Structure 1
Amino acid sequence: MKRLLLLEPVMALCTFSYFLNAPLMQQYVYRRLWAQMTNTTYPISDTSRCTTSNSSSSYEGVQKQASLFSLYTDVLCTIPSLLVILLLVTYSDRAGRKITIIIPVIGMLINTLAYLTVSYFELNIYLLIGSSILSALCGGLGTFLGGCFAYIADLCDTRCKKTLRMAGVDMMIGVLAGGASISTGYFLKTAGFNWPFLTSTLMLCLSLIYAVFVLEETIKPPSDVVIMDLAPRRSAIKQMVCGVYQMLAGASRSCKIALALLIVIFISFSFAYIGGVSMITLYELNKPLCWTEILIGYGSALTTTVFLTSFVGVSLFTCCGVPQLFIVLFGILSLVMSMVMTAFAETTLFMFVAIGSMILSKMPFPVLRAMMSEIISKSEQGE
């Protein structure tokens, strides 16, 4: 069977699955905590749950526990995920890019199956922290995207083509993420949690099959790379560490400084973006908004439109010759403005305006990736 250098199907399936799950997971934890702490069924309304007779202390207590659950999950997953990203994506410079695509998909599949199992059998929700850690040890979404963009970088030979191709992939992610987010609310209201989790599981299985059997490798690994059952000359971990060292040792001093600064900016902005966006759903569930699953779906969809608007922004700014660092700055300011407005949002309309102000907040990601890929050599595009 002839393999294809077409990455988009894998990214499309994983993206739809991920953004179908993202709002569901937080709502599932919130509802389970609500049932445990209040000994009542979760209030469901077609307009707003604030009209129910539940006291403010109930909302505050549940949100506190849900926030702690989210904090534990984020902290315990972020540290191993960052380490795996550095090692695994660098290792892909020798072993091939597919390893950074396949392993994270397996991790996401494990996590989704865990949510499906806990939801179906009503097991202890704190088991989900363990599944999230396992997913993080497989690299998580960060490694998956890093591998995908490294794969794309291998196929692009010019700076402009690379920037636009990466931004174009971000746009595709935005379209699918928006569709998945909108469908989440209706799916949840109609079928509950089990069917969406099952749908996500099936999509990840299809993505895994495509990545393993259809996707072509862009880098042919040398004979001394440890892959599957081949007898190793060196351990895989040692090769990963050596890959990181070689990437830094082979560059000039100015390149090392520039790369280090870009990595710091990328990681810092990622923390701010992921941390801020992940708390939006919890804020929407609590007073004074008390959004329903339908409104949360539309809010999540509006959040994902930044993929589209950021693609347009990157394209226009690039064509107009705006320096890349200014594009990054505009994106950071867009996120700052959105987070400040969200902190003071007390009505549905103002909350939608706050989310909409994130219009350019995704621009730093493709631009920073392109800038980092320009600094290091072609053979080290994984980092």
Structure 2
Amino acid sequence: MDERARPAVPPSGGAGVEAGGPRCRARAWLRRGPVEPLLFLASFALMLQTPLATQYLWDRLGEDRGYNGTGREGGCGDSSADPQRQEVETETSHWSLYINLSGFFVGLFSATLLGPWSDSVGRRPLLVLATAGLALQAALSLLVVTLRLHVGFLLLGRLLSGLCGDYNSVLAGGFAAVADVSARDARTFRVAVLEACLGIAGMLAGIIGGHWLRAQGFVNPFWLVLAVQVAAVGYAALGFRESVREPRPARLLTLRHYRSVFALYATPGPEKSRKHLALYSLSFFLVVTVHFGARDIFVLYELSSPLCWGSDLIGYGSAALHLAYLTSLGGLRALQLCLEDGWVAEVGLASNILGLVVVSVATTTPVMFAGYGLLFLSLACTPVIRAKLSKLVGEEEQGALFASLACVEGLCLLTATGIFNSLYPATLNFMKGFPFLLGAGILLIPAALIGMLEVFDPKPEYRRYVDT
């Protein structure tokens, strides 16, 4: 049997822990600081900070231009007759685009460098560096708000965070740590738990941020962002115990790390299926792109006619959307009792497709919430794909794999923003919900790919452990 098939032995090598026993593996994991609190803290702070920064850009740029309107007085009315507001919207969107693009491209190179590096030196150095970069970005944002510095310093903060790995490296380190310590048959659920932590963080950030901003302005919420990011750095440095079995020194600035990411998909070998890696990665890209794209336009869809939702209904809708993380987690656990993981992903895709179709034709509040209800298993697909990809590579390649997936998520965000945000205004004249319908159609592609792989080659990851 291949050496990498053996369960990981804790570095401490404590007495009474036998390799291979699930109870011993569980006890070993409990002695480690779990990575879930770290991901929750970093995600909560970032998801609180991002909309605050966008709203601050709107208010600050509007104030610089002498515009103090909110654009909400007319409810569902047309605001296109206000050229000053359009100028503020355009400038705000441009700055948001510059900030997002700078973080993505810098983070693309740093994450693919740091992820493979963590396969050698361990996950803790990666997580400490990435969370420290996010804390530095939060500190600069707070200075911009309190000292009224030029908004270009927000761009500088994002660049510095990108150099340290950005949020992509936090995701890469977190999911790789889960893969390091989880048994193969439990990995899908552990990944789903981690994704549920991200969803809960987003739901809490959405609820707290909006109410706090209206009550006290920008300064105190940004202080909370900084405090939580500093707490994440402290947990990464002191609370999280290393999950890599035998960390060893390695050079950081070397092209070998980039080559290891490339080799995941390009280097042939009897131990892995490049076909499965490529097709599951493509499925992941399409699923996450639709998820990000639909999320971007939900609020616009609800604000406009005929729904004309107010802030209270929008808040309930956002809570229902994030609740899908928990319902998908419970549904995945229940479906695993009777279905293989691949078919669980198919059920999740079916839930996503049905929900988007209903949302695309929703003209009343009950129908819109019915669409949200049908999305209750929509997030069961991505943890399955992550776990399947993790099982296709070796223990020493988990950091490289999840770093590449984190960069794919960043690319998904840019692709979704470009496609869905452009398509929504272009299709208002003939079908306002067309982008949701398009998203449902796109999801048929990963559904076909995953179904095909399950039928013709359901468990390629186990071929590497068969003695030849």
TM-score w.r.t. length of structure 1:
0.80
Q: How far did residue 282 of structure 1 move?
A: 6.0
Q: Which amino acid is 1:57 matched to?
A: A
Q: In the aligned structure 2, how far is the partner of 1:142 from the partner of 1:23?
A: 18
SS of 2:198 mapped into structure 1: helix
Contact persistence 1:49–1:291 (CA under 8 A)? no
Asked if 1:108 corresponds to 2:134, the answer is: yes
SS of the residue aligned with 2:377? coil
Q: Tell which deviates more after alignment, 238-247 or 87-96.
A: 238-247
What is the one-letter code of the residue matched to 1:128? Answer: L
Other structure's SS at 2:160 match? helix
Query: Are the counterparts in 2 of residues 335 and 358 from structure 1 also a CA contact under 8 Å?
Result: yes
| Counterpart for residue 301 of structure 1 | 319
Note if contact 2:127-2:170 (Cα within 8 Å) is conserved in structure 1: yes
Secondary structure (helix, strand or coil) at the match of 1:305 reads helix
Tell whether the 8 Å contact from 1:188 to 1:196 is kept in structure 2 after alignment.
Answer: yes
Q: Tell me the CA shift for residue 7 of structure 1.
A: 1.9
CA distance in 2, matches of 1:175, 1:268: 23
Answering whether residue 344 of structure 2 is matched by residue 327 of structure 1, we say yes
- Letter in structure 2 aligned against 1:218: S
Larger C-alpha radius of gyration, 1 or 2? 2
- Structure ranking higher on relative contact order (CA contacts 8 Å, 6+ apart): 1
Aligned partners of 2:76 and 2:305 also within 8 Å? no
Q: Deviations over 1:159-188 (max 9, x none)?
A: 2x1111121222333334322321222211
The structure 2 residue matched to 1:381, chosen from 375, 390, 398, is: 398
User: Aligned residue for 1:267?
Assistant: 285
Q: CA RMSD in A?
A: 3.5
Q: Deviations 1:43-96 (Å, cap 9, x if unpaired)?
A: 6xxxx6335999443365544444444444433433443443333222211121
**Matched letter for residue 322 of structure 2:** T
Identity %: 28
Of 103, 108, 112, the residue aligned with 1:77 is 103
Q: 1:57 aligns with which of 73, 81, 98?
A: 81
1:168 to 189, 193, 202: 193
Structure 1: 5+ residue stretches without partners: 227-234
Query: CA 1:115–1:377 in 2, change beyond 3 Å: closer, same or farther?
Result: same
Aligned pairs, number? 368
Show structure 2 runs of 5+ residues with no match: 1-11, 13-30, 402-468
Conserved? CA contact 1:13–1:203, under 8 Å? yes
In structure 2, the residue matched to 1:362 is 379
8 Å contact from structure 2 (residues 141, 153) kept in 1: no
In 2, Cα distance between the equivalents of 1:308 and 1:156? Answer: 20
- Partner of 2:240: helix, strand, or coil? coil
Moved more, 97-106 or 353-362: 353-362
TM-score, with length taken from structure 2: 0.67
Q: Does 1:211 align with 2:236?
A: yes
Counterpart for residue 186 of structure 1: 211
Partner of 2:336, secondary structure, is helix
1:229 matched residue in structure 2: none
C-alpha contact 1:60 1:286 (8 A) present in aligned 2: no
Matched with 1:231 is none
Once the two structures are superposed, the pairs formed by residues 207-286 of structure 1 within 5 Å of their partners are 207-219=232-244, 223-226=248-251, 236-244=253-261, 247=264, 249=267, 251-252=269-270, 255-281=273-299
**Structure 1: distance between partners of 2:253 and 2:169:** 17
Counterpart residue type for residue 291 of structure 2: Y
